[in-house]
Structure 1
Amino acid sequence: MEEKKLDINSVIGFVLIFGILMYMLWQNQPTPEELKAQEKAKQKEVVKEQKDTEEAQTKETTAEDYSAVAATDSVQVAGLKNKLGAFAYSSTLPSASDKETVVESDLLKLTFSNKGGFLSEIKLKKFVDYDSIPIYLVKDNNSGFNINFGTTDSRILNTKDLYFEPTVTKNGDNTIVSMKLKVSETKFLEYRYEIKKDDYMLGFSIKSQGLNDVINSSQDINLDWKIKTYRHAKSISYENRYTDLIYEYEGGKDNNLGQRSDSDKEVDDVTYIAFKQHFFTSILLADTPFKTASLKSKNLVKDEEVDTVFTKYFEAKLPLEMTGGEINKNMNWYFGPTDYKVLNAYDRNLDEVVPLGWGIFGWINRYVFIPLFGFLSSFLPYGFAIVFMTIMVRIVMSPVTYKSYVSQAKMKVLKPEIAEINEKYKDNAMKKQQETMALYSKAGASPMAGCLPALVQLPVFYALFQFFPSAFDLRQKSFLWAEDLSSYDVIAKLPFHVPLYGDHVSLFPILASVAIFFYMQMTTGQQMASQPTQEGMPDMSKMMKYMMYFSPLMMLFFFNNYASGLSLYYFVSNLITIGIMLVIKNYIIDEDKIHAKIQENKKKPKKQNKFQKKMKEMMEEAEKQKKAKK
């Protein structure tokens, strides 16, 4: 019999067939998009199966027979009682699940969780962030609300771990959500929320019924509220700069923890606590003050060059008291915009949450700029409202600009005479000072007169510096190339990050810097021409030249990440000021007339007030003593 040998042709054939099969498998493998679609389909099937299972279980276990079913599982019930004591009852109810209750008003969409009884999601329906994503103050476990208490059977419990039973009822246009943590049908701890149709303020109360023999009143009962604030703005650093924890205490005083560094503080008699983001805020208000409050703030932005989900972490620990063996605390929640008009309407000192400046600066913003801008923006686009408000401010301040310029013109006219006095009494500083002051007095001029108008303008300058970053109305309002007047404008993106400047180029700060340069060139030139040269004094002209270049450069860097509305104001303001100064210089002030008037004033007898007389006597006495020593 002939032995069968391995045929080389068969081997080649098998190899070819195997190669063809592998090629066909490779060609027909699913694409990444098809794999994702298959994965999503599988996930949908799993979710559907879980949902069907839950619905089936819910149908099988009705409210009537649930207690009977739970009672049969004696081991589970015994375990719950051992762990939760009297509150084990709440975990045997149908509500003992991670289900949620959703309630909507015209302004808010609120999601209440059975576990913990608090809000697991808060959506502001009328706002979106810089990337057109809806604004959520609470979502995906970024916030927590818990009451920690001891029981009479020596247990320490946290409400965040326990199940509440939800009930939703209507009271006219208002919706009442009751979340009850039950010991029995007649004994419970209740969170009661009242949601109004068109209001960001919610009624909120914590009340207990029949728990005087369950909760240990001799131990501390602590309310713990915390949140990690979401980033909502284009600039992380700019938003974080205006994100802060603010509180009211001792019957109307207000303070904050600081916007930059980590901080914690113990405060007494606290009436409200605001976890303030730049343009959105969560506030807990109490009808009666909390005796103490432990407050904490932590900055979560470690590197401003890296996109960050959260900006800051806030926490407040507050004591709850039992009165007559029960808890009864009436409060309110505010979840809404950091808008001065909205917050001020509640008449609960919430306008202090908006950083308008202290003292006179806040007064100017509250009673001048906010009403004025509100009036202008009611019929003008917001960019034009800023321009018109700037024009009005500069016109009102023009008399101050005029006085400053006249004072500098007087000093310029007197400069030759001052130089003569300096030369004549160069070896006698006291006499030189006497003669100089006498000349100023006779001529009706003063070197300080040019500085005082600038000091008068400082409150207005600082008030507007506070106003524009806090103006909620500017949020997401466009003007020319700026898409959002409450944030920086972008005309070019840089492929790298420049320290202090950023990774973009904003045009409004460039225009404002150029306008400031020309304004300072005019003012420093006038000041240098009017300032007399004093021996032994530093050369002020060099300092002024440095400032003329340094100030615009500082403006360029500092404002590149600031609100474009603020840069627009400074650009227009400096343009108008330059125009006013040119008009004053070329059409109003005549240096020859000023010189003639000064000469006329010098001829008139000048009465000296008591202060001037006293100063003259002191200087004369000093001169006599100096001569006597010689």
Structure 2
Amino acid sequence: MDDQNKNLILATALSFIVILVWFLLFPPEEQTPTTDPEQVVATAPDQQATDTAPTPPSLATPQETRETALAEGARLDIDSPSLAGSISLTGGRIDDLALKDYFVTLKDEENVTLLSPVGTGNSYYALYGWAPGGTLNYDQVPGSNTEWQVESGETLAPGSPVTLVWDNGAGLTFRREISVDDKFLFTVKQSVENTTDSEQRLAPYGIVARHGEPDTKKFFILHEGVVRMSDGELEETKYADMPDMDFSQAENANVETISVSENGWVGFTDKYWMTSLLPAPGQGFTSVAKYSASNDVYQTETRLPTMSVAPGQTAETTTYLFAGAKEWETIRNYEKDKGFDRFLDSIDWGWFFFLTKPIFWVLHHLHALIGNMGFSIIALTIIIKAVLFPLAYKSYASMAKMKELQPEMEKLKERAGDDRQKLQQEMMALYKKEKVNPASGCLPLLLQIPIFFSLYKVIFVTIELRHAPFIGWIRDLSAPDPSSILNLFGLLPFAPPEAGSLLAIISLGVLPILLGISMWLQQKLNPAPTDQTQAMIFAWMPWIFMFMLGSFASGLVLYWITNNTITFIQQYAIMRSHGYKPDVFGNIKSSFNKKKKTEAK
């Protein structure tokens, strides 16, 4: 087995093994039925022994439909270019939110629902309030069941804030002004006016609560759950790990608190959507992640410091709520314009963040120029190949030099006979004399592994690839090629097998087939190995990769096809420049002749 073939087989085998391991997903966990949460508790920030806990709403009827739950109680509409929904005046909860620009599937026009009210089986909402301190109790501060009144505004829209008011009947008047921009950011200004004759102590808080574990993707390369930034430190906690957090007897829940001195945020992230609480930059607070096993509720909180409000004075605080799609440009603008510390890290860039971030940056700007994400991926691949070209040139030149040395190496084998040690010594001497590195041939392929992973991560987690069309039948580059060889790519009158079925494995689309062909043609730049084992490995390799990558995102397969095509052109040109003329058609013909001879035997 010559060194060139050894390197190629080794590199390809490594690629195969690493790809299989990397894309192995965890088996889905069985969803446990959602119990009936009686209450969700959050420890008061005042830290006084007499203080008790705020009480977000109960889930009395988890079997209610969304429509029924929305019909209960007074509401205030939300209508912005990006969001539609309503605010419940009971508790002032932001608990009804749909994303206007995003749809559940390509086949229908049902908008993605992000937040849902109490009473449904998947309650998910944001709640604000005040924790009592000093002589106050929870009946004297607004909480989960406070009935707010509308003081100003009719519909929450950009440039049209609404103000809610509640008088506790004991000298304290609370107001909550809520505004929204044209994307996904709410500004929540809470204030309390003290008309009593004594100082009052109380602390504002914000809560995002989810009743029951949501239906997540459960890919180990994707984080879904708590994501938070605490003075420059990013922390991620999956839903499944929240019950393992330290148990607090005082809160009767598993709790993890972090004291943030000036910059941070906390919330829940899904693959494409996120709901996060963001105190104003420079504001210290306590960041809380909590799981209540007794009622199966997941919760994140921001607990702001206790305020002392003198008689006749008003105290106020401003915080923010992000509730929407994890659009790169939108989140980046909030990070820059609002000063939200490292808010772009709310997107799951993964272990290779030093590659995924710049790769997406280039892809984003290419898409802004080209207007088609598929052609942008092709352009990105060309740029990557151009950056790696110096190394590729050196590698292919070394491979061409190895071809030139082939006759001399055959002579060395004849002289050495069965003395393998002598053969290795003489071959190394020959390599040193001719300045050839036998290992350089596999370097470009090995370098493709982290790039491949990074591009997969970008295509898998960034919402910009979701439902992004390419050409013709490819309407979603984040999904597998929907065409199928089993129905002759749509010519026969039946649908291809659904994903997850046994037939789906062999239901190859156009792009996976083109991938297999591109790998096969790349092999034909060199004659087939004379060793039968090597020849068999080479013969099967393109088609194994074709089936293995057939169910991957179309965008990734498109990248691989483009990469193979450019590699073929580069290698062919470099070999020609070094005096070796690849006989592609001859090698193809030779491979078919060998098959015929094998069948004849």
Q: TM-score, normalised by structure 1?
A: 0.61
The answer to whether residue 364 in structure 2 is matched with residue 370 in structure 1 is yes
Give 2:180's match in structure 1, choosing from 192, 195, 199.
195
Distance 1:552-1:290 versus aligned 2 partners, 3 A rule: farther
Distance 1:324 1:162 in 2: 22
Paired residue secondary structure (2:375): helix
The CA deviation at 1:528 is 5.8
Q: 2: CA distance between counterparts of 1:215 and 1:240?
A: 48
Q: Deviations over 1:547-597 (max 9, x none)?
A: 76357535534551x432222222232233233333444x323149xxxxx
Distance 2:239 2:474 in 1: 27
Count of paired positions: 463
Task: Give the 3-state SS of the residue equivalent to 2:474 in structure 1.
Answer: coil
Distance 1:203 1:139 in 2: 20
Alignment equivalent of 1:132, drawn from 109, 124, 141: 109
Counterpart of 1:144 in structure 2 is 125
Q: 1:174 aligns with which of 142, 159, 162?
A: 159
Match of 1:226 in 2: 209
* Cα distance change, pair 373–260 in 1 and its aligned pair in 2 (3 A): farther
What is the CA distance between 1:422 and its match in structure 2? 6.0
Counterpart CA distance in 2 for 1:297 and 1:343 is 30
Q: Of the candidates 449, 466, 469, which is equivalent to residue 460 of structure 2?
A: 469
Change in CA separation of 1:211 and 1:567 when aligned onto 2, cut-off 3 Å: farther
Establish whether residue 507 from structure 1 lines up as the match of residue 509 from structure 2.
Answer: yes
Which of 546, 553, 561 aligns to 1:571? It is 561
Note the alpha carbon deviations across 1:252-285, whole angstroms, 9 max, x for none.
2323225987776535245112422333322221
- Which amino acid in structure 1 is aligned with residue 555 of structure 2? G
Question: 1:291 pairs with 273, 280, 286, which one?
Answer: 286
> Where does 1:52-451 land on structure 2 (aligned, <5 Å)?
98-130=73-105, 131-141=108-118, 142-146=123-127, 147=129, 149=131, 152=135, 159-169=143-153, 174-184=159-169, 186-196=171-181, 198-210=182-194, 223-227=206-210, 237=217, 242=222, 244-245=224-225, 247-258=227-238, 266=256, 268-269=258-259, 271-287=264-280, 288-294=283-289, 315-324=299-308, 328-346=316-334, 347=336, 348=340, 349-357=342-350, 358-377=352-371, 381-418=372-409, 421=412, 434-451=425-442
Aligned to 2:43: none
Unpaired runs of 5+ residues, structure 2, are 1-52, 54-71, 246-255, 485-494, 582-601
Instruction: Pick closer, same or farther for the CA change 1:409–1:495 going to 2, 3 Å.
Output: closer
Check 1:434–1:143 CA distance in 2 against 1; reply closer, same or farther (3 A cut): same
What is the CA–CA distance in structure 2 between the aligned matches of 1:420 and 1:267, rounded to whole Å? 72
CA distance in 2, matches of 1:239, 1:174: 40
SS in 1 for 2:355: helix
How far does residue 446 in structure 1 lie from its aligned partner after superposition? Answer: 1.0
SS at match of 2:279: strand
Q: Secondary structure at the match of 1:106?
A: coil
How many angstroms apart in 2 are the aligned matches of 1:178 and 1:208? 13
The one-letter code matched in structure 2 to 1:445 is V
- Does structure 2 retain, via aligned residues, the 8 Å contact 1:223–1:317? yes
- How far off is 1:118 after superposition? 1.2
Q: Which moved more, 1:508-517 or 1:544-553?
A: 544-553
What SS does structure 1 have at the residue aligned with 2:565?
A: helix
8 Å CA contact 1:390, 1:569 repeated in 2: yes
1:515 CA displacement: 3.6
Q: Structure 1 regions of 5+ residues with no counterpart?
A: 1-83, 85-96, 299-311, 530-538, 593-630
Q: Kindly indicate whether the alpha-carbon contact (under 8 Å) linking 1:338 and 1:354 is maintained by their aligned counterparts in 2.
A: yes
Is the contact made by 2:332 and 2:344 (CA closer than 8 Å) also made in structure 1?
yes
**Distance in 2 separating the partners of 1:450 and 1:503:** 32
Q: Post-superposition shift, 1:505?
A: 3.9
Contact 1:508 1:564 in 2 (8 A): no
Kindly indicate whether the alpha-carbon contact (under 8 Å) linking 1:516 and 1:552 is maintained by their aligned counterparts in 2.
Answer: no
Counterpart code for 1:256: E
Q: 1:318 to 1:286 in 2, by over 3 A?
A: closer
The Cα of 1:289 is off from its aligned counterpart by: 4.1
Shift in CA distance, 315/372, structure 1 to aligned 2, threshold 3 Å: same
**Bigger radius of gyration, 1 or 2?**
1
CA shift digits 1:8-55 (9 cap, x unpaired):
xxxxxxxxxxxxxxxxxxxxxxxxxxxxxxxxxxxxxxxxxxxxxxxx
Q: Quote the sequence identity (%).
A: 19
Counterpart of 1:144, as a letter, is Y
8 Å contact from structure 1 (residues 204, 333) kept in 2:
yes
Q: Normalization by structure 2: what TM-score?
A: 0.64
